A = this chain, B = another copy of it.
């Protein structure tokens, strides 16, 4: 950030009065510009004991696999965001999805909120940002071709829970080197 988005004057970085963190501040119109973490809403779509993954058609990590996930938008709930991303990236509809994981990535300012739930039908396909979508049995997850460490972490927790026979809501934070 170089300029005030309200008045166009150059901003300076300093700790505002009553605050304890440096922010971008406009000395002209006095606006304080906060930058906060973003929510990535995701979903593990389930069908007949398999899960639906999609292969990314865009950078970063084009060509690698992930569950559908993307930035939550203003005007939608987190669960709506997860379902929307599933429709956009894997052309699949999910119903009655449940919260599965809340994973913070402090060093890149992201929080993943990942749901899981049954697909409404076996219909799916590659959305615009995907090269392909595919159902995987849990013994066939392409572990060495997963796009991001956070995705691998969530999928491992999912496989563990299925193996154990009980889902829990996972809350964790990913270490710096995995963000």
Which residues of A does B touch, CB under 8 Å?
1-8, 10-11, 18, 21, 24, 33-39, 71-80, 98-99, 102, 104, 106-107, 109, 111, 113, 128, 169, 171, 173
**A78 to B104, Cβ gap below 8 A?**
yes
**B37 to A109, Cβ gap below 8 A?**
no
Instruction: Given A75-B109, A78-B102, A107-B75, decide whether A5 and B2 contact each other with a Cβ distance below 8 A.
Output: yes
Which of B8, B76, B107, B169 is A99 in contact with, Cβ under 8 Å? B169
User: Would you mind naming 26 contact pairs between A and B with Cβ atoms under 8 Å apart?
Assistant: A1-B5, A1-B6, A2-B5, A2-B8, A3-B7, A5-B5, A18-B128, A21-B73, A36-B38, A36-B39, A36-B72, A37-B39, A37-B73, A37-B74, A39-B39, A39-B111, A72-B111, A74-B109, A77-B106, A78-B171, A79-B173, A80-B104, A98-B171, A102-B102, A102-B113, A111-B113
Residue of A7, A11, A38 ringed by the most chain B CB atoms within 10 A = A38
Q: How far is the CB of A3 from chain B (nearest CB, A)?
A: 4
Which of B3, B24, B102, B107 is A8 in contact with, Cβ under 8 Å? B3
